[in-house]
Amino acid sequence: MRTSDCPTTDSSEFLLAALEQASEAVVIVNAERQISHFNAAAEAIWGLSRKDILGLDTGCLGLTDLRPHSEITIRRTDGSQLRAAISVSRIETGGRDSYMIFVRDVTAEVERRERIALLNLVADKTTRAVVVTDRKLRIVYTNAAFSGVFGHSAEQVQGRQVNQLLAGPMTDRKTLARLHRRICDGRGQEEEILAYDHNGDEIWVSAIVKAFRNDRGRIKYVFALLSDVSESKQLRSLQQLIMGALADELPLVEIADQLCRRVEAIAPDVVASVLHVDSEGLVHPLGGPSLPEDYSRALEGISIGPDVGSCGSAAYHGKPVLAENLDTDPRWQPYKTRPLEVGLKACWSTPIKAKDGRVIGTFAFYFRECRAPSRWHQRIVEACVHLGALAIERKEARAQIARLAYHDMLTGLPNRAQLLELANQAIADCKDRQLALIFLDLDHFKDVNDTLGHSAGDALLIEFAKRLRARIQPSDLLGRLSGDEFVIVLPNCDPARASLVASHITEALTSPLWIDNRQVPISASMGISIYPDNATDIDALLQQADAAMYKAKQAGRSTHRFFSADMNRLAEQRLVISAALRRAIANDLLRLVYQPQTRTVDGTLYGVEALARWHDPELGEVPPAKFIPLAEEVGLIEQIGLWSIREACRQMAAWRCAGLDVPCVAVNLSPLNFQNAKLAAVVAETIKAHGLPPDALMLEITEGVLANERSAAIETMNEIRELGVGLSLDDFGTGYSSLSRLAHLPIRELKIDRSFMRDIERDASALAIATAVVRVGQSLNMAVVAEGVETEGQRKLLAALGCDVVQGHLYARAMSPEAFERWLIDHVATQARMMRASIDEARSQPTPSLLIASTGG
Ligand code: C2E
Ligand code: CA
Ligand code: CA
């Protein structure tokens, strides 16, 4: 090359040629900023050809200001863009300024720079601690989170060995060694390890480590990502463990044990223990797997107090108590020996409180050094007292439920469920000996409840239970089944002894109980079944004893009866029939039939008695003598009675509407119907609803209604009488009603029991009773009705006695309403015919008495 002798123009040409070759883009502009040179590299950068550019303003290249150094973004015509570093040199040639602009593509560089800035930002913003060390684990970089987690500033840790800095006395050396291996194997697996912050407080970290190597494969840097998992994992896993144990309904001691073990795993320098504090303030160790067993056992039953160790004091004051040195702490003197022996020197206990604030337990940390709890210990305890409270409260609630579930709240006796369980146990223990089960039912308990009130009823049951308990052995079982039903189970007992026990109970009940300063007479009916003679399972024995108890009731109460096979059959039958009856009532399948009652004087209709009938599709016709007593036993009679009243009234109204003259309908009611205080109101409403006068209805009651002096039934009877509805005393002569009492009852009619009719013609005493009954009725101004009259002879006798009304097969059986209508029409016609005949007869041969009768009827 000819460098030395080249002329100026040549040299500028040379320069330009060199520029043309330069790898860097060069743009030369004159003082007016017009582009004078645009080299090949510049063409490449802008993607423009120089012929389109030369002479134009620099603005078209995006070069607006010509500072010595700047960076611009170049947008090419093809849409791509790049980042360019601009450096501008001013050149003076011939008194004229021109500018030489060097343009360098720095896109990649900028991107790298941005990425690094971003990474820095990320490293500082992340909550995970980032540490970069050299090959020898000396720290070269830490991010902001590292300082946040461990409390060391970046400057303080620069150059320090990372494992010396973060590991501490309880850091697991094996995990540390494993982490070291992870650096090299490059698998980036996480390890959880206990680290320590600048105060020496424990932090559980999850660590990921990774090595960065140089070109030759030697480790240059070690990168570690550390996250604080104390809360998120350790405490939560503790929580999950306990919640899981609670959900699995594990026993409390097991839950406490698991809790302690887990705590000791995440806080390796503590020995944990959980105590339960009961409502009496006594402690019961629940868990302390690392404490000496004899020490835990010795704590059982210790009373909490102001200076009782750490736990007893913490429970007493309801605040955490720290004993940093058991050896010298005055509260620990009586208890310190054993813990000191096993190297436990300090104890920090926190009360566990129920939702209502009661202290229900304590949670204690024992330490092997004289020390106070760390922040981490405090965090664990915060989480654990809550879990402990949950577990203990659950157990308390369950115990409460068990008490409720197994004990009768009123008497404190085992309830049905518990009784059955205990009885089953007794049966199992019986082997081949006998066992007796006594089913007791208080007589007339309902009356006590009704007349003296429920609290008196409750008091009576409590007293009754006490008397029973006093009459049996401690080994005998006594429980309350329900209401006024009790059961006694006598293990190892034959029928003779069972009978004796029952008699003793009956006897013990003969002296009345004192309730609210009032003497209340009581008695019980008892049924007895014997294992294994009657049955081998508790349900059957119970059912049999129940059936036998009914027999005792039927036998006049205040006594006992043994179960027999007959009763079993009856009991079963009763079950079947009562179910069918219940259905029949629900489906309105009962009917009423009507039996006429006629006056003896003239044979005219006095009224009808409505009698219930039940035809069951499977059982066939079930007689009322069977289903009525059953309905009384199983609680269906109330409904039947009310239904009879409604149905009879409906029928009466229908007859009246049809022009049939039926003066009165008599409806049979059970004594139980009169226990219903609303009976009178229902009756009033029913007759009103059917537009019937009150004397169109008669209610038949039996002497059972009067059995009880205090009975609310008398009240009801008076109310009914006030309505103008009649009351008739049915089956009179069979009971024990005293005449003086009868006189004071609001009764309008007596019905002589049909048992007297049978023999009235032959048997002088039957006639005497019938005569007496008629006289009683007459003297009390009551109508007297004889039922079961089958023969003309009976009718004549009764007429002669002055009995007003007769009812019986002689006239008609009970009939369906339609049959009765036909009978009535027929009867009226016959009456008329007879009347005419007698009038005719009287005309031909006058008889004064008959004349009076026909005109008076
Ligand atoms: P009860 O109230 O003494 O009814 C009279 C019973 O004697 C009826 O029996 C009737 O059919 C029957 N009888 C009537 N005349 C004669 C006769 O000349 N000879 C004979 N041998 N018997 C006669 P029934 O209908 O079988 O009723 C039996 C018992 O059932 C009734 O005795 C009554 O205590 C009860 N009962 C019937 N229906 C009802 C009802 O709707 N409610 C209630 N609580 N008890 C009812
Ligand atoms: Ca009757
Ligand atoms: Ca009767």
Taking the CA atoms of residue 642, residue 647, residue 650 and residue 656 in that order, the dihedral angle to the nearest 10 degrees is -120
Q: Which of 621, 626, 787 maximizes ligand 1 atoms within 8 Å of its Cβ, making it the mutation to test the pocket?
A: 787
pLDDT reported for residue 113: 86
Lowest mean pLDDT among 243-247, 418-422, 600-604, 797-801: 243-247
Query: With 60 as the cut, is the pLDDT of residue 49 above it?
Result: yes
Query: With 50 as the cut, is the pLDDT of residue 423 above it?
Result: yes
Percentage of the chain beyond pLDDT 70 is: 94
Give the DSSP letter of residue 235: I
How many whole angstroms from 754 Cα to the centroid of ligand 1?
A: 10
Q: Which ligand is nearest to the CA of 590?
A: 1
pLDDT reported for residue 233: 78
pLDDT reported for residue 128: 87
pLDDT reported for residue 306: 95
* pLDDT tens readout for residues 74-94: 988 888 889 999 999 988 877
pLDDT reported for residue 519: 87
Give me the mean pLDDT over the 452-460 stretch. 87
Instruction: Give the sign of the dihedral formed by CA 380, CA 381, CA 387, CA 392.
Output: positive
Query: With 60 as the cut, is the pLDDT of residue 287 above it?
Result: yes
Q: Which residue has the higher pLDDT, 117 or 280?
A: 280
How many whole angstroms from 700 Cα to the centroid of ligand 2?
A: 6
Instruction: Report residue 464 CA to chain centroid gap.
Output: 32
Ligand 1, atom 11: closest residue by C-alpha:
814
pLDDT reported for residue 67: 87
Lowest mean pLDDT among 21-30, 659-668, 733-742, 781-790: 733-742
* pLDDT tens readout for residues 194-230: 999 999 999 999 998 888 888 888 888 888 989 888 8
Q: Which residue has the higher pLDDT, 705 or 466?
A: 466
Ligand 1, atom 3: closest residue by C-alpha:
731
Give the DSSP letter of residue 673: G
Query: With 90 as the cut, is the pLDDT of residue 322 above it?
Result: yes
Task: Kindly indicate the confidence band of residue 369, based on its pLDDT and cuts at 50, 70 and 90.
Answer: very high
Task: Kindly indicate the confidence band of residue 811, based on its pLDDT and cuts at 50, 70 and 90.
Answer: very high
Give me the mean pLDDT over the 624-628 stretch. 92
Give me the mean pLDDT over the 61-68 stretch. 85
Q: Which residues contact 526 (CB under 8 A, 6 or more apart)?
A: 438, 439, 440, 441, 502, 505, 506, 548, 549, 552, 559, 560, 561
Query: With 70 as the cut, is the pLDDT of residue 803 above it?
Result: yes
Kindly give the number of the ligand 1 atom that is closest to the alpha carbon of 611: 38
Lowest mean pLDDT among 59-68, 390-399, 490-499: 390-399
Give me the mean pLDDT over the 715-741 stretch. 82
How many whole angstroms from 580 Cα to the centroid of ligand 1?
A: 21
pLDDT reported for residue 390: 86
How many whole angstroms from 756 Cα to the centroid of ligand 1?
A: 15
Kindly give the number of the ligand 1 atom that is closest to the alpha carbon of 670: 44
Ligand 1, atom 24: closest residue by C-alpha:
624
Ligand 1, atom 44: closest residue by C-alpha:
669
Computed over every residue of the chain, the mean pLDDT equals 88
pLDDT reported for residue 234: 82
- Contact between 732 and 803 under an 8 Å Cβ cutoff? The reply is no
- Strand 590-599 vs strand 605-616: parallel, antiparallel, or unpaired? antiparallel
Taking the CA atoms of residue 280, residue 282, residue 288 and residue 290 in that order, the dihedral angle to the nearest 10 degrees is 170
Pocket of ligand 1 (CB under 6 A): 595, 611-612, 623-625, 628, 640-641, 644, 668-670, 730-731, 754, 787-790, 807-809, 814
How many whole angstroms from 750 Cα to the centroid of ligand 3?
A: 10
pLDDT reported for residue 682: 96
Q: Which of 591, 628, 807 maximizes ligand 1 atoms within 8 Å of its Cβ, making it the mutation to test the pocket?
A: 628
Query: With 90 as the cut, is the pLDDT of residue 763 above it?
Result: no
pLDDT reported for residue 636: 92
Note the residue count of the chain: 857
Give me the mean pLDDT over the 168-176 stretch. 90
Percentage of the chain beyond pLDDT 90 is: 53
pLDDT reported for residue 386: 85
pLDDT reported for residue 85: 92
How many whole angstroms from 667 Cα to the centroid of ligand 2?
A: 7
* pLDDT tens readout for residues 706-723: 665 556 788 899 999 999
Q: Which residue has the higher pLDDT, 770 or 828?
A: 828
Ligand 1, atom 8: closest residue by C-alpha:
611
Q: Which ligand is nearest to the CA of 628?
A: 1
CA distance 236 to 243: 10
CA distance 483 to 200: 68
H or E segment to which residue 736 belongs: none
Neighbours of ion ligand 3 (CB under 5 A): 730-731
Q: Which of 638, 668, 673, 820 maximizes ligand 1 atoms within 8 Å of its Cβ, making it the mutation to test the pocket?
A: 668
Give me the mean pLDDT over the 628-657 stretch. 94
pTM: 0.44
Residue carrying structure tokens 């041969």: 845
Instruction: State both tokens at 439.
Output: 């089913």
pLDDT reported for residue 9: 60
Give the DSSP letter of residue 440: E
